[in-house]
Amino acid sequence: MSGLPCGLNGAVYLVEMDADGGVAKFANNKAGAKYGTGYCDSQCPHDIKFINGEANILGWNGTSANSGAGQYGACCSEMDIWEANSQAAAYTPHVCSSKGLGRCLGTECGDGDNRYGGICDKDGCDFNSWRMGDKTFLGPGLTIDTKKKFSIVTQFITADNTTSGALSEIRRIYVQDGKVFQNSKVNIPGIDPVNSITDSFCSQQKTVFNDNNYFKTLGGVAGMGDSLNNGMVLALSVWDDYAAQMLWLDSSYPTTADATKPGVNRGPCATTSGKPADVESQSGSAQVTYSNIKFGPIGSTFSGSSSGGSSPSNPPSTSTTASGPAAPSGGAGTVAQWGQCGGTGYSGSTTCASPYTCHKLNDFYSQCY
């Protein structure tokens, strides 16, 4: 992330668009996802040039040779796995009332004063460590050092700890220099000191920050789970922000609000930073590398030793992990709470520090708690 300064956003996210870009649904669409058609997200973007097999030319207002906005928007649920630069980061679920891509018109798009009356929840429910009260967790030289390579892990936990249950929690884990770091904990009065996204967290956050909980209105965490079950497409992007200069990610936003009030300050960047003209002229060679992208059962996509950091706010229930063969024995020393203690390919210690015991979560991962 070191190559992305204030005002830029290197994003890894999922959107509920058709995998083929809408070719199967719309006879006029001969291009497909390969050529960029079928895209949608929770901001209901109006700059999409073709929506549902038709050109978005009605009311088109060109802002440059390559961009502009038409009267229609392209809306769909979005799971922001990672939106970040070298100074700040957030992960955020956004839900919509439409299944898949919904073409919006007028108030449906949630533009302007109708932000909380459209198809999608544009704000989402974000977890930004800086905004949530820990300014020492992520950044250059901090606990998660953005000057160095690291891995981000996102875990989707269901209410009954099965693959078919309702989504109830979204966790974040980091791995850097061979060590596993649990996400930072909330340090804001009025919000429980948790480190993951749940409906309870979102409700408390919106109340304390005096934000509209449109996320809850449109389905909350379970609604995000419904979209994941429907199928989503991975998207990668590097972008600058003509609407808000990326201040919502890495600075104080809105700029008219008191930056000392909870939720306003989101990162260390100046409120004068992020102007696209400046970003494009000064950081035209900015870049970020994403690699080794994986998905699979919880615990199967990463490895490392415990850092002894924050623990999950709601560890998996032992009732769903007690069956099956015991974790293999072997290794030296003891494993701290929430550390890995077994699983396919694991060669470390299987002995948990007292009073914890090793629980098998799946064939790939066992954990001390």
**Residues catalogued as catalytic:** 78, 83
Cα–Cα distance measured from residue 146 to residue 4, given in angstroms and rounded to the nearest whole number: 10
Helix (H) or strand (E) holding 279: helix 276-282
Cα–Cα distance measured from residue 152 to residue 156, given in angstroms and rounded to the nearest whole number: 13
Backbone angles phi, psi at 251, to 5 degrees: -140, -150
Helix (H) or strand (E) holding 71: none
Cα–Cα distance measured from residue 301 to residue 308, given in angstroms and rounded to the nearest whole number: 20
| Length of the chain, in residues | 369
Q: Could you give the angle at which helices 220-230 and 199-208 cross, rounded to 10 degrees?
A: 130
Tokens of 278: 């400046």
Tokens of 208: 């304390």
Q: For residue 198, which amino acid is it?
A: T
In Å, how far are 26, 37, 81, 172, 192 from 126, measured between CA atoms? 34, 28, 10, 12, 15
Cα–Cα distance measured from residue 213 to residue 203, given in angstroms and rounded to the nearest whole number: 7
